[in-house]
Amino acid sequence: MKKEIWVYLETSPDDRLYAGTKDLLAQAGAIAQLLRGAVLNGKGGSAAGEDIGLRGILTGAEAGRLEDAALEAVLYGAREVTVIEGKELETFSPECCSDAFAQLLKKTRRKPELILFGRSPDAMDLAPALAARLDAGMLSDCVGAVPGPEGILWERHAFGGSAVSFVRFREGKTPIISVRPGSFGGKAGAGVPCLRTPAEAAAVPVTRFGYQPDRVIARPSLIRVLESAREQGTDIGSADVIVAGGNGAGPEGFALIRELAGLLHGAVGASRIAVDKGWAPHSQLIGQSGKTVAPRLYINCGISGSVQHIVGMRDAACVVSVNTDPRALIFNVSDYGIVGDLHRVLPELIREIRSSRG
């Protein structure tokens, strides 16, 4: 049987792949290369040179609605796609989804090298549920890996990166790993490149697996979706430019932040306090309890630089910070710092950009 890494694919309400899932596929490709290298170096017990392909796994009530997403997954690196179809999968629930995954593994008798998840709220629910269901090991928020004499060592950071641990899985069970966006050479913010043409992708096999629970599944976490709110503006997960505001911004500051983001064709981000105060929606939260971003330009205004915020933005290529306090911690991770009141700095910046464009 061919060696495979399975990748959990997530779709938006209009049944397209999320940008974060495309990033995950790119990371999975890098991990496949790494595993293959480890195998070639004699670890892993596999035949030298053996290829490791990516299988994307989609779940939903109607496989027909997921055809475009399956095609996208192939464009972005999946070699094959399996759609698990079942009416219980209409709304996400970790109980049903983990049961469906377990059934797919059992009935197809497959044993992937790894099962990979992103860092979305659903993935963070599903990965540990599946690990518990399969009695397998699980590592969350993995940021890297190195081949060691006893096998691959998977890297994880704690306490905002001040502690690093390396984890090795026992042989025998399929490891389950959730990956931090932008790790393994992924591109959380900037566009992920397509690896195939649509014509090549159309030739790739997409298989359907019908899921029916063979036991009663308690669904304590079932959420009934009454209305799904569309995200405002550009998604911060895939934006090249982010202008973010914090507690120092206030509602007027956020109006300026939105204006600047619009001028730069970027997205609006926020710190936790700004979200808690209702100045920005939760989908724009950056940091430990929000999204991890890696834009080319990250302009932040009135954000102090707590460790919980910095873990979400430190992979930005260029950081510009505006803060009245010259000792603010955010300046330690900034390429450019402006000590000043954002209510004065941002209008100047906006005026300059407008006048430079004529």
Token reading at 148: 């060691």
In sequence order, the 6+-apart residues with CB closer than 8 A to the CB of 276 are: none
SS3 210: strand
Does 140 contact ligand FAD by CB under 6 A? no
> At its nearest, how many Å lie between ligand FAD and the CB of residue 321?
9
Given the rule CB under 6 A, which of 7-15, 164-172, 319-327, 347-355 is the region that contacts ligand FAD? 319-327
Does 141 contact ligand FAD by CB under 6 A? no
SS3 108: helix
Nearer to ligand FAD, 28 or 311 (CB): 311
> At its nearest, how many Å lie between ligand FAD and the CB of residue 1?
41
Contact pattern from residue 219 through residue 238 relative to ligand FAD, giving x for each residue in contact according to CB under 6 A and a dash for the rest: --------------------
Given the rule CB under 6 A, which of 51-59, 145-153, 156-164, 288-296 is the region that contacts ligand FAD? 288-296
Indicate the burial class of 246 (C-beta count within 10 angstroms; 0-12, 13-18, 19 or more).
Answer: buried
Nearer to ligand FAD, 142 or 342 (CB): 342
Does 306 contact ligand FAD by CB under 6 A? yes
Residue 73 has a CB neighbour count (10 Å cut-off) of 29
Spell out the long-range contacts of 214-220 with Cβ–Cβ below 8 A and sequence spacing 24 or more: 214/103, 217/88, 217/95, 217/96, 217/99, 218/95, 219/93, 219/95, 219/96, 220/95
The phi, psi pair for 36, rounded to 5°, reads -65, -40
> At its nearest, how many Å lie between ligand FAD and the CB of residue 319?
14
Q: Which residues bind ligand FAD (CB under 6 A)?
A: 246-248, 271-274, 285-290, 302-304, 306, 308-309, 312, 322-325, 328, 341-343
